[in-house]
Chain A
Amino acid sequence: MPRLVSHPDEVKIVTRRFGQGAAAIDKYIQLGGYEAVQKCLAQGPEWIINEMKASNLRGRGGAGFPTGLKWSFVPKQSAKPKYVLVNGDESEPGTCKDHLIFLHDPHAIIEGTMIAGLAIGAKLGFIYLRGEYRYLLEIMEKAVADAYAKGYLGKNIFGSDTEFQIITQTGAGAYEVGEESALMESLEGKRGVPRIKPPFPAVVGLYGGPTVINNVETIASVPHVISMGAAAYAAVGSERNGGTRLFGLSGHVERPGVYELPMGYNLKKMIYEVGGGVRGGRGLKAVVPGGSSTPVLLPEEIENLGMDFDQVGKAGSMLGSGGVVVIDDQTCIVEFALRTISFYQHESCGWCIPCREGTDWLKKSLTRFHAGFGTAKDIDNIQYLAENMMGRTFCPLGDAAAMPTLGFVKKFRKEFEDHLNGKPCAFARIEKPGLVEVH
């Protein structure tokens, strides 16, 4: 069972019911659950969307798109059925927050999905979990069955004449399926390759119908926005970044864990106070602020950095999925870059050539480089390859692979240069099998 952590600076909104047995429907109700959706049922779609807009809730999957605005793009009239699709394909390295939401508060996901459905006029919602999360799928399935048994889901939700159904779905192992159009493809029983946009899912989505796709954390935040009131929720965060974020602190930190902190919380404080500092009292070399696809930040870049979408963006990186990976001064950045690109090479779906070939060449170059067979030209080549992947693919996976690579090469060029001319890497695990596969 994943360990729960706590810190006085936390503002527990989404995690409020964690560890209290709220996966059981009666406990969830006792803790105030399913009140928000009933309020929404009474108030109607326009009110819900206005509340969501006023709350400044932004997409927790990584892109940070305003949730209320996204919902408002769905046409009121549609010949085809509309759908809500909850993205629980959580696969970005460094990210495990949705894992905890599924485990501790599955009914909040159901309630949020229902509210999204009411807002856009959908009668059917899907909750998609990555295939590895089988035990969480079982928890989710039980929660859905319990909600049906109470009459909360079905043809007449809460005794009204409004219908809402939920179907849970398992994936079978694919990072790319976390991309929204690939997610729809997978749910339609196909290979998870991305679709070209436009049209956007809000207009032409699942089965060709207008579809709202939200991350699990976003959806689980929705009932709290309604219960607290949009203004109160927005006040918790920073400017244009409402509420809290489930930050996943991992890597070389004393107290790793998922902490719920207000948007805009200082990153240095997060590492040193919330996380207890770098493990073993070592120095901080770098930090990946929002999952493995976000460019690395140096210690001097995090001094006054507030963790919200706008501030991290201004610092040249991204808030992404909120997965903060701490790297100590005994880590080889070339190895870290290689492990990062190996992941994207493995997960590239192969649909777009710049991503398929680019990740492969980057992996090969970095493998050779890290094994001590690099040349000075390689450093520029790695940068050139990554730059030429940017913005040239259907989906953001190409960028997700290129962005961190560029960050490593630009910010740690000296460390790359140190690997040249047979100079041994001070921190390397070159001798270790498994990692280095020279093709």
Chain B
Amino acid sequence: MVDMSSFAEAGADLELVGIQKRFPGFTAIEHLDLKIPAGSFFALLGPSGCGKTTTLRLVAGLEDPSTGKILIGGRDVTALKPHKRPVNTVFQSYALFPHMSVLENVAFGLRRRRIGDPVAKAHEALRLVELDHVADRKPAQLSGGQQQRVALARAVVNRPALLLLDEPLGALDLKLRRQMQQELKQIQQEVGLTFLHVTHDQEEAMTMADTVAVMNKGRIEQMGAPEELYELPRTVFVANFLGQSNLFEVEVAGTTDQAVQTALANGARITVPRSRSERDSGQITVGVRPEKLRLHVQEPTADASINVIGPGRITDVSFIGVSTQYTVEVPGAGAVQVFAQNVEAGPAAHLGDQVWLSWLAEHTFGLADDRLETGALTADFSTQAIAAQAAFAGDGE
């Protein structure tokens, strides 16, 4: 550490260059290049076993990369031991020291760095998480939510250049989790630290982070602002993991400067804006989000800016409250999900109705890969395989 005895002035940027991490028998991270700008709230999102926690542990120094470099604030820390890195972690298990009081837990890092007046600073951090009144208790005497906040205070009190969060909200119930998400975001903005948050909860990642990186099978599939990822997923995995998508396998029929014209196997035409399609020839997969679709009981009039498929039959209707979710079986396109806002009273369509579906062509996205290559089924399988191998290769330590 450059200067271990003082607080970081501000968050530092984090750079991972050509990182690969192999354990005996499997590779947790295939290849990772990542740059997180100072002061941002960055989320690594992915299913369990995708390598996101390993990435976090590499940054914390709890694992060594097989190849590649880790830079924090421009300084190469790859060879630094964890206790010399300007990084703190909020662990998934909280990992509070059971033999110390809450106050001593929070003061632990300050004492190690010989920062002046650790007790006063620890009290201050506990006030930030509204737990100063339990400073003298042992962690075991606190509820899960309180322990979580102590873990947060214990990390934040050190004002690390980079704060790592390893699914810290996983053990909380939904209401506390929502509250905690807002508080975390607030703290991050107040203290201006760089946050790297690992989670498998897509909603959590989207609501909290400035930038989300979706990880799968040890690689980052796509990275960007939450809206960007949601509106324009580039791979089948992202389209399915982040929200839901209707995907269609189509054949490119022709291209213009503005659009890629495609056709389903049954001849129905689907137009994708050129800028929203990763590929423009041969067999490709295109998709649209379920809430962009509209139901029609009569065939809509043809319009170049609108994609229409149908007719299909409604095979399932579920009333969610704010919306109604329809499953429409469309010959040649398969089962299509439609989320309709409940603007009018009463259902817009009924089970068994014949309907057409339309959406604005500009909402269509064209993916870089195909359903069969990295679809949900394959992803699940590989997740299990990685988990099994991780258990087997536990001596990687």
Q: Do A and B bind each other?
A: no
